[in-house]
Amino acid sequence: MKRIKVIVVEDERLPRLSLLAKLENYREELDIVDACDSYDSAYESILRHRPDLLFLDIQLQGRDAIQLLEELRTSISLPYVIFTTAYSAREYLMSAIKLQAVDYLLKPIGREDLAQALAKVRDRIQDTARHPEVPEKMVFKSVNSLLFLSAEEIAAFKAEGNYTTLITFNEEALVLESLLSLEKRLDPLRFVRVDRSTIVNVRMVCRLNPQERSCTLQSSDGRSLTLNLSKNGTEALLSVIR
C-alpha cells in the first residue's frame, strides 16, 4: 500500500509538535506533507496537497474546524479525518459523525489511541480499494459521437454560441448543448458558473491568479491545466472559493 499523505492541523505549538513526534513512529506508512497552525493556512494547504488524511484540531484560534471541512467539501472530496480536541462536547462529536470522521481523539493523545485510529484509516483505505466507487457517467452529444464522462474527468465548460466546449485534461470537445442547458443538469456543488460563458469544476481548482485572471485546475492523478478568465469570472470564482 502506498504511503498515506497526511496534514496535521493544530494551532497550539506543543500539541502540534507532540503529535508530529508520535507520527514519526509511522514514517514508513505516512507521508507528512504539512503541519498547519491556522484555519487559513490549513485551507490553502489542503487544497494544494489534497491529502489522504487530516489530523484536525476542532478549534482553530476561535474558528470552527467543522466549518473548514464544510467549506472544503464544495471544492474537493474530503480526506479521511481524525479530529483532535481538548473538549468532549456532544455537538462536536455529532458533527464529527455527520462528516464521517474516522476517529475523535482527546488531547493529550495517547499512543494506543493513535495506533487504533490509524488502524481504522488503514481499514477504510483497504475497503475502498476492494470496493471502489464507480463514478456515475454523464452523456454529452458531440458532432459525430456521444461522450460518456464522469464529473471527475471534466475540468470546465465554455459557451460557444448555442453550443459548448467541454474541457478535460486530455482534450476539448464541442457539445451540441447550450451552457444554460448543461448547467441545469450539473451538480451545483461541483460545477459553478464563474461568468456568463464559463462553468468550472471548483473541486479541481488548485490555484487562482487574480492579477493574471487565470486559474489552474488539477486532476486527482496530478494532471493540470490553466484557464484564462474574465475580470467578472475571476471575481466570481474568488468568491466561491472563499
Mapped onto helix, strand or coil, the DSSP state of residue 82 is strand
Distances in whole angstroms, Cα of residue 235 to Cα of each of 95, 190, 204:
31, 18, 17
Same structural domain for residues 91 and 179? no
Please check the confidence at residue 94 and state whether its pLDDT lies above 60. no
Instruction: Please give the pLDDT value at position 185.
Output: 87
Rg (CA), the chain: 20
Domains in the chain: how many in total?
2
Q: pLDDT digits over 146-157, tens only?
A: 999 988 899 999
Last residue in a domain, options 77, 100, 130: 130
Same structural domain for residues 122 and 147? no
Please check the confidence at residue 84 and state whether its pLDDT lies above 70. yes
Expressed as residue numbers, the domain containing 152 is: 137-241
Same structural domain for residues 18 and 103? yes
Please check the confidence at residue 219 and state whether its pLDDT lies above 80. yes
Distances in whole angstroms, Cα of residue 183 to Cα of each of 3, 77, 127, 196:
38, 21, 34, 12
Task: List phi, psi (to 5°) of 20.
Answer: -60, -40
* Rounded distance between C-alpha atoms, residue 178 and residue 43, angstroms: 34
Please check the confidence at residue 58 and state whether its pLDDT lies above 90. no
Same structural domain for residues 23 and 113? yes
Please check the confidence at residue 121 and state whether its pLDDT lies above 70. yes
Last residue in a domain, options 130, 151, 177: 130
User: Which CATH number does the domain housing residue 213 bear?
Assistant: 2.40.50.1020
Instruction: Please give the pLDDT value at position 25.
Output: 95
* Angle 92-238-72 from CA coordinates, rounded to 5°: 25
Same structural domain for residues 142 and 226? yes
Region 164-187: mean pLDDT is: 92
Taking the whole predicted model, whether its pTM rises above 0.85 is answered as: no
- Contact between 7 and 54 under an 8 Å Cβ cutoff? The reply is yes
Task: List phi, psi (to 5°) of 5.
Answer: -80, 125
Instruction: Please give the pLDDT value at position 88.
Output: 62
Mapped onto helix, strand or coil, the DSSP state of residue 202 is helix
DSSP class of residue 204 equals G
Answer with the residue of higher pLDDT: 190 or 75.
190
Copy the grid coordinates of residue 72.
472544503
* Rounded distance between C-alpha atoms, residue 135 and residue 71, angstroms: 23
Any idea how long the chain is? 242
Same structural domain for residues 171 and 80? no
Copy the grid coordinates of residue 226.
490553466
Answer with the residue of higher pLDDT: 55 or 205.
55
Same structural domain for residues 167 and 110? no
Same structural domain for residues 54 and 120? yes
Residues 6 or more apart whose CB falls under 8 angstroms from that of 213 comprise 228, 229, 230, 231, 233, 234
